[in-house]
C-alpha cells in the first residue's frame, strides 16, 4: 500500500530590514548586499541539506517572513523558491505556485512593480503588506520607512502583478491614536478589498524604543524619555519635542477591537482568529497550521520548527549560521514535547480560533476526554463568562478581551 504523505508548512526567515521599527523585537537588522548574499548562500545550503528528511511530507504552505523579505531582489526570492521546489514535494505537484499557499511579507517601502512581478512569477501567490497605519504621522511615530501613499502604490502594483490573495497588516492602540482615527484607517484599508486583514493591537515589547518610552513603570501612561517627536499638542501630550503621546486607554483599545469586528463584518470579512479577518476561503493556511499544531519546518536564522512533536530552533548567531556546513550544528533547544505540553498547546493555540477547540479532536489526539483533564478549568471559566462549553469550547467576546488570562488557565 502506498504510504500517505503528511502536510508540512515551511517558514523561511529573512532577517534583514532597511531600518528597525520603534516597536519591533523580531530578529531583524539592516545589512548590506554582500552580507545578504552570504546569508542567502547559507540559507540555500541549509534547505538543500535538510530536504531529504521530509520525503514523507508534501508542502502545503510556505511563508517568507522577517525582517523584510522584500529587501531581497526578486531574483533572490526566486532562488529560494527554486531550492524548495528542487528538494520538496508540493501539494498540487511540481508547480510551486499551484495549490500550495506561498506567502511573502512585503514592506511598501521596498517594492516596485518589477520586483512584485518577479516574485509572482517565481511562485509567490499570497502577499502580506505591512501597512500598519494609513496616517503618515502614525507611521513616522512607529518608525516605518514608508508613507501612506507608498502603501497605496504597492497595493496597486501587487494587483497589476497578478496577486489575487493579499493581506493587509494594521495596528491599533497606537500612541496618541483616537478610536475615530483608527476607524478611518480601517475603512480605507477595507475599501481596497484585500482578501485578508490582520488587525493587531500594539504590544510594547522589551528591548525596543517603545519599551523605553512606555514600558517598565510606564503602563499606559505617557513617558517623557523621548525627545524629538512632534507631539499632537493635546492636553495629555508633553508637547512638541518634550515626549511621547499617551497610549490609548484599555477602554479605547477594546472599542477599537469591537469596531474592527463590526466594520469588517459589514465589508464581508469574517473574524476567524483573535486578530485575523478573511473573506470566505481566504483564511491564512500557514497560520492555521500553527494554531492547529501541524508539522512545520523553519529555515534561516533563529527559525523555529516542530515536527512529530519535536521542537527546536536555529541559532540566532549570524556568525554561527553563516559558518555552518551541517544544519544540525545550528539547532538549539531541541526537545520532545510531553503529552501534557501537547495538551496545553492544543488548548491555548486552538482557543485563538473563533471555531474554538473540539472535544472529539481532543479525544482523538490524546485518548482522553477533555472534561477529565480540563473540566474544572472550563467550569470556572464558563462561570466567569469567558468561554462557552459545548461540543466545541470557544472564547466569548469578553474572554477574547482577556485571552492571555484564559490561555494561562490551561497550563498545568
pLDDT in tens, 339-394: 999 999 999 999 999 999 999 999 999 999 999 999 999 999 999 999 999 999 99
pLDDT band of 135, cuts 50, 70, 90: very high
C-alpha–C-alpha distance, residues 208 and 66, integer Å? 16
Sign (positive or negative) of CA dihedral 179, 182, 186, 188: positive
pLDDT at 314 over 80: yes
The structural domains of the chain, with segments of one domain joined by +, span: 6-291, 338-412
Q: How far is CA 355 from CA 53, 196, 338, in A?
A: 33, 18, 25
pLDDT in tens, 180-228: 999 999 999 999 999 999 999 999 999 999 999 887 533 433 333 332 3
pLDDT in tens, 196-207: 999 999 999 999
pLDDT band of 259, cuts 50, 70, 90: very high
The mean pLDDT of 297-318, rounded to a whole number, is 97
Q: Write the CATH number of the domain with boundaries 338-412.
A: 1.10.10.920
The mean pLDDT of 157-179, rounded to a whole number, is 97
In words, the CATH class of domain 6-291 is: alpha beta
Q: What is the pLDDT of residue 327?
A: 72
Alpha carbon 372 to its chain centroid, in Å, reads 33
Average pLDDT in the chain: 90
Length of the chain: 412
Q: At what angle do helices 113-122 and 148-160 cross, to 10 degrees?
A: 40
Amino acid at each position: 500500500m502506498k504510504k500517505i504523505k503528511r502536510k508540512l508548512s515551511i517558514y523561511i526567515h529573512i532577517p534583514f530590514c532597511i531600518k528597525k521599527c520603534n516597536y519591533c523585537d523580531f530578529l531583524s537588522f539592516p545589512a548590506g548586499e554582500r552580507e545578504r548574499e552570504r546569508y542567502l548562500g547559507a540559507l540555500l545550503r541549509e534547505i538543500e541539506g535538510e530536504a531529504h528528511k521530509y520525503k514523507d511530507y508534501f508542502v502545503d504552505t510556505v511563508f517568507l517572513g522577517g525582517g523584510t523579505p522584500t529587501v531581497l531582489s526578486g531574483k533572490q526570492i526566486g532562488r529560494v523558491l527554486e531550492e524548495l521546489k528542487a528538494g520538496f514535494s508540493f501539494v498540487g505537484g511540481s508547480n510551486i505556485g499551484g495549490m500550495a499557499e506561498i506567502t511573502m511579507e512585503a514592506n511598501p517601502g521596498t517594492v516596485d512593480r518589477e520586483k512584485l512581478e518577479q516574485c509572482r512569477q517565481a511562485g509567490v501567490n499570497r502577499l502580506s503588506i505591512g501597512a500598519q497605519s494609513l496616517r503618515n504621522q502614525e507611521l513616522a511615530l512607529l518608525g516605518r520607512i514608508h508613507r501612506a501613499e507608498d502603501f497605496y502604490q504597492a497595493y496597486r502594483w501587487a494587483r497589476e502583478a497578478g496577486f489575487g490573495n493579499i493581506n493587509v497588516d494594521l495596528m491599533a492602540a497606537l500612541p496618541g491614536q483616537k478610536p475615530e482615527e483608527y476607524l478611518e484607517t480601517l475603512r480605507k484599508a477595507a475599501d481596497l478589498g484585500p482578501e485578508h486583514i490582520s488587525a493587531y493591537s500594539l504590544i510594547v515589547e522589551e528591548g525596543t524604543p517603545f519599551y523605553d518610552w512606555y514600558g517598565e513603570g510606564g503602563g499606559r501612561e505617557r513617558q517623557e524619555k523621548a525627545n524629538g517627536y512632534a507631539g499632537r499638542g493635546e492636553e495629555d501630550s508633553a508637547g512638541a519635542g518634550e515626549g511621547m503621546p499617551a497610549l490609548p486607554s484599555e477602554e479605547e483599545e477594546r472599542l477599537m477591537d469591537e469596531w474592527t469586528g463590526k466594520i469588517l463584518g459589514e465589508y464581508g470579512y469574517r473574524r476567524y482568529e483573535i486578530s485575523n479577518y478573511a473573506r470566505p476561503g481566504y483564511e491564512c493556511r500557514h497560520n492555521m497550521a500553527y494554531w492547529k499544531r501541524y508539522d512545520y519546518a523553519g529555515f534561516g536564522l533563529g527559525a523555529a520548527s516542530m515536527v512529530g512533536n519535536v521542537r527546536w530552533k536555529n541559532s540566532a548567531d549570524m556568525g554561527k549560521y553563516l559558518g555552518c556546513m551541517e544544519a544540525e550544528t545550528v539547532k538549539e533547544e531541541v526537545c520532545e514535547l510531553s503529552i501534557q505540553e501537547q495538551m496545553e498547546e492544543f488548548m491555548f493555540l486552538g482557543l485563538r480560533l473563533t471555531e474554538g477547540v473540539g472535544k472529539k479532536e481532543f479525544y482523538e489526539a490524546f485518548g482522553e476526554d477533555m472534561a477529565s483533564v480540563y473540566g474544572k478549568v472550563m467550569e470556572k471559566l464558563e462561570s466567569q463568562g469567558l468561554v462557552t462549553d459545548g461540543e466545541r469550547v470557544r472564547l466569548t467576546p469578553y474572554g477574547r478581551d482577556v485571552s492571555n488570562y484564559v490561555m494561562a488557565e490551561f497550563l498545568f
